[in-house]
Amino acid sequence: MVKEDEKKRVPAKRVDIVSLRLVKEASLLYKDRAIRSPEDGYNLFKQFLGELDREYFVVMCLDVKNQPTAMNVCHIGSLNASLVHPREIMKSAILSNAASIIVLHNHPSGQPEPSPEDIDVTKRLVEAGSIMGIELLDHIVIGSDSFVSLKDKGYF
């Protein structure tokens, strides 16, 4: 007679031992030191990425004095879309020890008006940040030569 435990044996599961870290790819000088307005965020984004042919979603990590400490391209989308999830944005914020974040993305069409998806992801980021203690200061949508601050527009 075979014992019940012997019939249900399954092979052991291998568990990976990992470490997490950020890798600095480059750096740039920001003469104004702190982000005080959506325009400051826009200018730093333009300095960081310049002109783009598809949608880039970037998280700017800030310290307690609103000084940028890191910028991370969280997602590169297609010509007219970018699918982002709060966990991808918060991952770089956590690893950068950010006190707060500003997210920015461009609209290759040149029109900076936020889409319903932009507004939805912003609300989700506010909620996630509230839970994690990392405040979303703004979501800036960048067009050809202009930008829209979702915070200034009252979306959160």
Mean pLDDT of the chain: 92
First and final C-alpha spacing in the chain: 67
- From residue 156, alpha-carbon distances to 31, 106, 112, 136 in Å are 29, 19, 17, 10
Q: Give pLDDT, residue 77.
A: 87
How confident is residue 40, by pLDDT bands cut at 50, 70 and 90? very high
- Structure-token pair, residue 12: 């052991």
Give mean pLDDT, residues 12-27: 92
How confident is residue 51, by pLDDT bands cut at 50, 70 and 90? confident
Structural domains in the chain? 4-149 (3.40.140.10)
Q: Which of 98, 76, 145, 149 is nearest to 119 (CA)?
A: 149
Alpha helices for the chain (secondary structure H) = 4-7, 38-49, 86-95, 116-132
